[in-house]
A = this chain, B = another copy of it.
């Protein structure tokens, strides 16, 4: 049994499912996410895959993946967008990532806590909530 082949098959399936043609850069970048526990910033991806692909390609691939609901963005206080894989429930343009994100203040890794659901927030009368983003900062498993 060849794990490499299986992963590659899963990647191809994901791309097909989203009506995306199967290209080297998409395969490579999607694989980076699958190999990864935490989330990835654009810079990380550029470093890891960047020798092989143009910067522009990385930007466009990430954009495409977000649009298709394959990955989602995670807001952070510093100026670096982070991306993480979506669960299957996500689809074109509409994300259902109602989970909490965790950023380690020590190692700076970002995690999706898929089992921790974002709470209801009581807003002042005049505001309507569409989506709630929760980012918790602290120490992760490995850092304490």
Contacts and interface: CB of A to CB of B under 8 A. Distances in A.
Interface of A: 73-81, 100, 102, 105, 113, 115-116, 119, 121-124, 126-141, 144
Contact of A113 (B73, B123, B138, B140): B123
Contacts of A79: 79-81
A124 B139 CA distance: 12
Contacts of A124: 113, 115-116
Nearest to A73: B77
Contacts of A100: 121, 123
B75 A81 contact: no
Given A77-B75, A81-B77, A81-B78, A131 B127 contact: no
**Considering the complex of A and B, which 8 residue pairs feature the smallest CB-CB distances, nearest first?**
A126-B141, A130-B138, A75-B75, A133-B135, A129-B138, A75-B77, A128-B139, A128-B138
Nearest to A82: B77
Given A79-B79, A115-B124, A121-B116, A132 B134 contact: yes
Contact of A121 (B78, B81, B122, B134): B134
Given A77-B75, A77-B81, A119-B121, A138 B144 contact: no
A99 to B, nearest CB: 11
Contact of A136 (B81, B121, B139): B121
